[in-house]
Amino acid sequence: MYLPERLKNKMSFTVPVLIYHHINSHTGDTVTVTPEVFEAQMAFLAQSGFTTLSIDALMGAFCKGREIGNKAVVLSFDDGWLDNYLYAIPVLKRLKFRATFFIITGRVDASSNGGVKLFSDIPLHEAAKAYIQSGEASRVVLDWDLIRNIEEDGLFSFYSHTVSHRRCAELSGTELLNELVESKHRIESELGRACPYLCWPYGSYTKETIKAARESGYTALFTTDYGFCGPSSDPFRIKRIEVKNSVAWMQECFAKI
């Protein structure tokens, strides 16, 4: 149950929920931030005194009225790309920054069947998708063993980005429920804990998909709608901000807080 408006009105916080996808050296590629820029962005957050929140901590503000302050940020990574493990996680670990990863369970299953291969020559985004389509997900996607290993120190958590990354607003009722329920159950089975959070692929959702997700047991839903998170935000329509490959962009973005 979420706080009534009269209590929310007494709270004050502005939290950007940042969206990352790829972290690799392909400057200018789709949804990609280079390792050098990513490290500089994280250094900017650390030097500016920002705290990185887990989704549980963010939801604690909604559910229990916990104060989280105005220098807080949520780092989210979509799709479960292997380059996150190679280039983002070492930086985050060094700074003791928390992060959330939304994973596509069908791809993780396929990667686990093939056995992850830690190549240094990370492919471009379209080539990475081609690897998945050709049955070589292990070339570009995290597997369950790596995910369990990443979660061990408590800084990182993994939640649902559906089974197959389809546009949920375009699915039939049965197809939608499969994407929502099966991904949730798969994560819970593999990681041994609840999976209450979902991120919509391509930001594709409707009132009907929100209703289905709530009935499937999700307690917070993340979109690609632009905006900051605050006391009046709807936990079932959480806005996020797509990160650009620029430190100056991040400085300008955070100047608004």
The pLDDT tens digits for 64-119 are 667 787 799 999 999 999 999 999 999 999 999 999 999 999 999 999 998 887 77
- pLDDT per residue over 230-243, tens digit each? 888 899 999 999 99
For 10-29, what is each residue's pLDDT tens digit? 456 789 999 999 999 999 99
Question: Which one has a higher pLDDT value, 41 or 68?
Answer: 41
How many domains is the chain partitioned into structurally?
1
In the prediction, which pLDDT does 115 show? Answer: 80
Could you tell me how far CA 21 lies from the centroid of its own chain? 8
CA distance 160 to 235: 15
State the residue range of the domain holding 40: 5-254
pTM over 0.75: yes
Residues in CB range of 17: below 8 A, 6 or more apart = 58, 73, 74, 76, 222, 228, 229, 238, 239, 240, 241
CATH classification at residue 170: 3.20.20.370
pLDDT at 6 over 90: no
- What are 76's strand-pairing partners? 19, 100
